[in-house]
Amino acid sequence: MGVHCCWLPPRQVEKCLYGSVGVAAPRDWSDLLHPKFKGRIAFPASSRGLVGIALKTLGLGFNSNANDLRAWGVSETALKKRVQELKRQALLFDDREHVRAFAFGDAWLVVGSSLDVMALSATVSQARLFVPASGTTLWADLFVQPSSSKATRDPGEPSPLIPAWLDFILSPSRSVTTTGLKSGLSPLLLPDTGAEGAPGQACGSGMNGTEGLNVALDVKGRFLPPGCVLQRSEFLLPLDRETTDLYNRMLG
């Protein structure tokens, strides 16, 4: 059965939550390798995410494939070594217990979705949020409509209400009422190509002027990463067969 899809705005970005443990505030994925974080980082249970973080620490992207590794001179041995180094930094890999481990003080740093860690930061007074400066992963909601839906005039055609719904979702007045990462991000708030500072603060400055923290609270009270960080962020794409086999070898 065919489906018609409508893309909706990004809702979440992968972020980190950090508690003061006597080391400099982390600013990027490579900071997760600091010796003092060994055995103290709580990760979600995502093999794709773990290899993606390893790729980021090696100067590549979350969507880098086997051809990209060859082009940039990164060997499988180097990538597997980095994955193993990240595993040694981990306290646990769990989609529920990672935030609890941070709340109870067992983990000093947690990697998670914006919804998870922003809720946690509201209850842990010393916690600090940051979005890695080299970019992170993004999610978007999708609406799907079966091609056989009775809402269509002709079989296989999208509903005539879709344009009106998109006009409503993308209206400038709605972007003013959103709260950024807390409740969904309007694409109107995403930076244009080449924009360095919008929609949050310029890179290198942090929330409330705290150096090293990359989640900005803008003038309308929305929690937004700097525009340059959003530009470096990625929606995860499907892996080709060769890269899937590469991932399996990295995790084996």
Res 49 pLDDT > 80 = yes
Sign of CA dihedral 51, 43, 40, 233: positive
Question: What average pLDDT score do residues 212-230 get?
Answer: 57
Residues 6+ apart with CB under 8 A from 1: 146, 147, 148
- Pick 100 or 171 by higher pLDDT: 100
**What does residue 189 show for φ and ψ, rounded to 5 degrees?**
-90, -5
What is the Cα–Cα distance from 185 to 233, expressed in whole angstroms? Answer: 14
Highest mean pLDDT among 3-17, 48-62, 157-171, 213-227: 48-62
Q: Evaluate whether 129 touches 212 at the Cβ level (below 8 Å).
A: no
Question: What average pLDDT score do residues 14-22 get?
Answer: 67
Please tell me whether residue 78 adopts helix, strand or coil conformation.
Answer: helix
Domains of the chain (ranges plus CATH)?
A: 3-147+155-178+235-251 (3.40.190.10)
Model confidence pLDDT, tens digit, residues 91-145: 999 998 998 998 888 988 899 888 788 777 778 777 778 888 888 888 777 766 6
- Pick 89 or 151 by higher pLDDT: 89
- pLDDT at position 161, please? 77
What is the Cα–Cα distance from 11 to 9, expressed in whole angstroms? Answer: 6
